[in-house]
Amino acid sequence: MDANETVCHCMSVTRGEIMEAIKAGGLKTVEEVGEATAAGTGCGGCQSVIQEILEELS
Ligand code: FES
């Protein structure tokens, strides 16, 4: 797993940034990740990957 991998191309958000936001904020949903990082708030195409990251960290 590469923390520098861009997960959300619309908003240029990396896997590492999403993981940090989830850990720091105790985030549970794709919507919360969107509010915290903007990831997933463009085309929505990355939301399944965000969901996977949430599940990995839960
Ligand atoms: S790639 Fe994340 S919203 Fe489009």
Supply 25's token pair.
């904020």
d(CA 42, CA 46): 9
Ligand 1 centroid–CA 38 distance in Å is: 9
In whole angstroms, how far apart are CA 2 and each of 5, 17, 35, 43?
5, 11, 23, 23
Ligand 1 centroid–CA 58 distance in Å is: 22
pLDDT tens-digit map of 15-30: 999 999 999 999 999 9
Atom of ligand 1 nearest to the CA of 8: 2
For the chain, the domains span: 6-57
56: pLDDT strictly greater than 80? yes
Give the model's pLDDT for residue 48: 98
For ligand 1, whether the C-beta of 25 sits within 6 Å is: no
1: pLDDT strictly greater than 90? no
Paired sense of beta strands 6-8 and 13-14, if any: antiparallel
For atom 2 of ligand 1, the residue with the nearest CA is 8
Rounded to two decimals, what is the model's pTM?
A: 0.95
CATH superfamily for 6-57 is: BFD-like [2Fe-2S]-binding domain (1.10.10.1100)
The three-state secondary structure class of 56 is: helix
